[in-house]
Structure 1
Amino acid sequence: MAVPVSGRMKELHYRARRFFLLRALACAFAGLLPARATAHVRTGRKAASAEEDLKKVAALLNGKTRDAWVFTGDSITQGAKHTHGHRSYPEIFAERLRWELARVGDIVVNTGMSGHTTRHIMNDMDWRVGQFRPQVVSVMLGTNDCARNQVTLADFEANLTSIVAQIRAMNAVPILHTPNPIIAEKAPERVSLPEYVAVIRKVAGRENVILVDHYAEWSAAMASRSAEVVHREWLNDPLHPNQTGHRQLAAALFKTLNIFDPAQPTCGAAYYEGAH
């Protein structure tokens, strides 16, 4: 025998069904959004901007907290071999930060790995970045992604967007870099690099991320001094910057973050301190 249901019970039953239906629809809708949008929905935070991020970096540099700065990318960031035993650009940054700016308590971590692409980093963010609980994350990629188009342009854009979203979800400031130009005729498998550079600029603009545009800086130098001279002085092979090239990468980063000081050795002044 059926038990009669009161009007109040019917109303409560209707409200419960409506609640679960709306929640299911919301979850389904969130699944259709890109990573950057779903991250915003989950956190409820106001979307960040490059200008605000530069202010955050300035506040970190002038603050009292001890901060972690993570650099990740491929062999260029790793500084593998081609620096001739000199410092790579993350190491030059560490010297600028921890010595010249007297932030000795800060930690600079380099998780660049030779041969890696956006796919490697996107799938390994916890190990490469998250475990260090960083305040700032610097990312330079593209030189391997473009090799024989092993990561398509569409996937490169999606991966880079996801990397930025994951960094922001850590409440860290992302910094994107374009890679340096290469000698394309001696590395024909990477002839499409300029297209990947365009995607980095596109993602940085759309996601409002700090961008260090090395490709533009080096291209301007090649236009004024000739490509042959710049290649000879700044590259160790068709792809990798030598120690001088890494100093150029570091200088561009310093200028972007407004911490370039020509009186300091990391920015080009002499290290030599006189007779001894």
Structure 2
Amino acid sequence: MLARLKAKSQTTLVYAPFGDSLSVGLFADSKTSRFTTLFADQLHRLTDKTVTEEGIAEVGKTATNLGVPALPALIAQHPDLITIEFGTNDAVGGATPTALADYRQALTTIVATLQKQTTAELILMTTWSPNHGPYAAADLQFDAVVKQIGQTYHVPVADLATIWQNHDDVTGPAGTAITDFAGNGPRDTFHPNQRGHDQIAALLKKTLEE
């Protein structure tokens, strides 16, 4: 994947993170140190090209209520690389057969449409949870769907469970006010903290290089 991005004739690459509050940047220390911006910086260093960070991400959204409807707007950005990060909010209601089926359908639509209508490289991302979080068991069932779709469509998967499972230091502590995310309240014990964002960016870099 990295070789293909390096080989592109243009001098500028568009990186488009597509997702929910994680891709917005909650709760890194700042917007410049969220995983998407760290990854864009790494992409610049690895390809020696200018990288523009665009994308579409909104707090609290799912593959169904943002991912599918926002596809035309995302495609209009002419992205070269897209990270697809939905599922964390999709799993909040539990891993019911209906919820899993809806998620599978939406994520399949997202991947198939982007493969058909863009030349972008794609990376799928699994769900986020705090260690022993309230939705962790459901999250892993949604992650299985991500991995199946990745296999079917030959899209690499960055498995965030390798970061949050058995690691209490990638979330919290709650209560810190972060200027860049003031509108979203103080840091909580759910979203990745700066260490979490650093590790997500590192995992994406590893996925890009594989």
How many Å apart are 1:146 and its aligned residue?
Answer: 0.7
Between the aligned residues of both structures, percent identity stands at: 25
Computing the radius of gyration from Cα coordinates, the structure with the larger value is: 1
Alpha-carbon distance between aligned partners in 2 of 1:217 and 1:245, rounded to the nearest angstrom: 7
How many Å apart are 1:111 and its aligned residue?
Answer: 1.7
**Counterpart secondary structure, 1:159:** helix
Which sections of structure 1, spanning at least 5 residues, go unmatched? 1-53, 223-229, 260-276
- What's 1:136 paired with? 81
Q: Which residue, 121, 136, 149 being the options, matches 1:203?
A: 149
- The higher relative CO (CA closer than 8 Å, separation ≥ 6) is in 2
Counting helix residues as a fraction of each chain, which structure ranks higher? 1
Q: Which amino acid aligns with 1:196?
A: F
* TM score, norm. by length of structure 2: 0.81
Q: Which residue, 52, 70, 73 being the options, matches 1:124?
A: 70
1:183·1:238 contact (CA, 8 Å) conserved in 2? no
**Counterpart secondary structure, 1:147:** coil
Which sections of structure 2, spanning at least 5 residues, go unmatched? 173-187
Alpha-carbon distance between aligned partners in 1 of 2:131 and 2:164, rounded to the nearest angstrom: 12
Q: Which residue, 87, 93, 101 being the options, matches 1:154?
A: 101
Return closer, same or farther for 1:238/1:203 CA change in 2, 3 Å cut-off. farther
**Counterpart secondary structure, 1:257:** helix
Q: Which amino acid aligns with 2:126?
A: T
**Counterpart secondary structure, 1:107:** strand
Q: Which range moved further: 153-162 or 135-144?
A: 135-144
1:134·1:172 contact (CA, 8 Å) conserved in 2? yes
* TM score, norm. by length of structure 1: 0.63
Aligned ranges 1:230-269 → 2 under 5 Å: 230-231=167-168, 233-236=169-172, 237-258=188-209
What RMSD, in angstroms, separates the aligned Cα atoms of the two structures?
2.2
Deviations 1:137-193 (A, max 9, x none): 1101111001114970011011100000111012322210112332445xx366511
Deviations 1:221-253 (A, max 9, x none): x2xxxxxxx22x211234210111001001111
